[in-house]
Amino acid sequence: MEETCKNVYITTPIYYVNDVAHIGHAYTTIIADMLARYSRLTGHNTYFLTGTDEHGQKIAQSAQARGKTPKEYADEVSGKFRALWDNFDISYDKFIRTTDEEHKLGAQKAFEKMYNKGDIYKGEYEGFYCVSCETFFTEKQLIDEQFCPDCGKPTSIVKEESFFFKLSKYEDKLLKWYEENEDCILPRSKKNEIVNFVKSGLRDLSISRTSFEWGVKLPESINEPKHVMYVWLDALINYISALGYGSDEKKFEFWPASVHLVGKDILRFHAIYWPAFLMSLELPLPKHIAAHGWWTRDGEKMSKSKGNVVDPKQVADAYGLDAFRYFMLREVPFGQDGDFSQKALIDRINSDLGNDLGNLLNRISGMSGKYFGFKVSSVDVEKYHVKELEDVNAILENVEELIFNMQINRFLEELWKVLTIANKAIGDYEPWTKMKEGKTDEAMALVALITNIMARVSILLQPVMPEKIAKIATSLGISINTELYNKIIVNKELLSDTVITKVDQLFPRVEEPLIEQAPEAKTEKSEVEEETNKEEPDNLITIDKFFETTIKVGTIVEAQEVPKSKKLLKLQVDLGEENTRQVLAGIKEYYSANELIGTQACVVANLKPAKLMGMISEGMLLAAKDENGLCLIRPEKTKISGTKIS
Q: What is the dihedral of CA 91, 182, 411, 314, to 10 degrees?
A: 40
Q: Angle CA(34)–CA(37)–CA(40) in degrees, nearest 5?
A: 150
For the beta carbon of residue 67, count every other beta carbon within 10 angstroms: 8
Contact 212, 57 (CB under 8 A): yes
Other CB atoms within a 10 A radius of the CB of residue 225 amount to 9
Q: Are 108 and 206 in contact (CB under 8 A)?
A: no
Q: How far is CA 130 from the centre of its chain?
A: 27
Q: Please choose, from the candidates 60, 87, 92, the residue with its C-alpha nearest in 3D space to the C-alpha of residue 74.
A: 60
Backbone angles phi, psi at 177, to 5 degrees: -65, -45
**CA 571, 342, 503, 39 torsion-angle sign:** positive
DSSP letter at 354? I
Q: Are 451 and 419 in contact (CB under 8 A)?
A: no
- Distance CA(56)–CA(41), nearest Å, equals 39
Query: Which residues have C-beta within 8 Å of that of residue 610, sequence separation ≥ 6?
Result: 616, 617
Q: How far apart are CA 573 and CA 632, in angstroms?
A: 14
> Which DSSP symbol is given to 600?
E
For residues 90 and 33, give the distance between their C-alpha atoms in angstroms, rounded to a whole number: 6
Q: Is 602 annotated as a binding residue?
A: no
- Say if residues 553 and 602 touch (Cβ distance below 8 Å): yes
The answer to whether the annotation marks 133 as part of a ligand binding site is yes
Report phi then psi at 354, rounded to 5. Answer: -75, -60
Other CB atoms within 10 A of residue 522 CB? 7
Which helix H or strand E contains 553, and what residues bound it? strand 551-561
Q: Determine contact, residues 354/416, Cβ cutoff 8 Å.
A: no
Q: How far is it between the farthest Cα atoms of the chain?
A: 90
H, E, C per residue of 43-60? CCEEEEEEEEECCCHHHH
Task: Report the 10 Å Cβ neighbour count for 109.
Answer: 18
Q: Would you list which residues are annotated within the binding site for Zn(2+)?
A: 130, 133, 148, 151
Q: Would you list which residues are annotated within the binding site?
A: 130, 133, 148, 151
